[in-house]
Amino acid sequence: DTAVSQTPKYLVTQMGNDKSIKCEQNLGHDTMYWYKQDSKKFLKIMFSYNNKELIINETVPNRFSPKSPDKAHLNLHINSLELGDSAVYFCASSQDNAGGVETQYFGPGTRLLVL
Amino acid sequence: GDSVTQMEGPVTLSEEAFLTINCTYTATGYPSLFWYVQYPGEGLQLLLKATKADDKGSNKGFEATYRKETTSFHLEKGSVQVSDSAVYFCALSGGGSYIPTFGRGTSLIVHP
């Protein structure tokens, strides 16, 4: 069974379009995250939710909006896509963000290419 | 704020060579320290971790010791294999903030 799953795995789209990426975890974790990884493998945290509540919101353009319908799901919607949004987006989850000491479990990634 | 510094890669080794990837950190408080590995085309996965000073994390022949006095968590393996080729990330959490902090990653390439 896949612990953290993301869809789609690949996403190719035109500039200006709106797209969504979905994430689900079946580990029963309380906290979920979105990361962006650039072509040099640099990993940047974007958002984190704990029990459906936004707790981390790093410097990310307003075009990115996370949504957590329940604690097992965290989706990422991107409006007006730009070339610079091309990257690999990873979802992750952990048991509890209290003190942030828990191991994170990562999904397989969504490879977004904006043309 | 918290930060993690890793040696730049790529690190290129022959099979059975000894591996060290350096990692140092800056944090207030007492963070937990992690090494994650990312194989090509995959997400990150935990390799090992240590939650307090002098703890040694180990897995799959890799080891790292939490050194508070030198604020370091260097990754070592005595004999690397081609299958160890991947990107390795040092990370911390539970330091001064609740935001997990990752290093920039170090690419390891192992030749037969």
Residue A50's pLDDT is: 85
- With 90 as the cut, is the pLDDT of residue A98 above it? no
Residues A105/A94, Cβ–Cβ less than 8 Å: yes
Q: Does B100 sit within 8 Å of A100, measured CB to CB?
A: yes
pLDDT band (50, 70, 90) for residue A28: very high
Cα–Cα distance, A23 to A11 (Å, whole number): 14
- With 80 as the cut, is the pLDDT of residue B7 above it? yes
Q: Does A103 sit within 8 Å of B45, measured CB to CB?
A: no
Joined together, the tokens standing for residue A67 give 């949504």
| Residue A102 with chain B: CB contacts under 8 Å | 93
Residue A66's pLDDT is: 93
Cα–Cα distance, B27 to B5 (Å, whole number): 12
pLDDT mean over B54-80: 97
Q: Which residues contact A62 (CB under 8 A, 6 or more apart)?
A: none
Report the residue from A45, A101, A109 with minimal CB separation from B32: A101
- With 70 as the cut, is the pLDDT of residue A29 above it? yes
Pairing of strands B19-21, A19-25: unpaired
| pLDDT, tens digit (0-9, with 9 covering 90-100), for B45-60 | 999 999 999 999 999 9
Joined together, the tokens standing for residue B31 give 């963070």
Torsion over CA: A101, B2, B42, A78 (sign): positive
Residue predicted with more confidence, B28 or B40? B40
Return the residue of A nearest to B48 by Cα: A103
Most distant CA pair in chain B: distance in Å? Answer: 43
Angle at B90 between CA B60 and CA A78, to 5 degrees: 115
Residues B101/B91, Cβ–Cβ less than 8 Å: yes
**Alpha-carbon distances, residue B15 vs A21, A70, B83, B107 (angstroms):** 39, 46, 10, 15
Q: Does B87 sit within 8 Å of A90, measured CB to CB?
A: no
pLDDT band (50, 70, 90) for residue A55: confident
Residue B111's pLDDT is: 96
Rounded to a whole number, what is the distance in Å from the CA of A63 to chain B's nearest CA?
A: 22
Residue B2's pLDDT is: 86
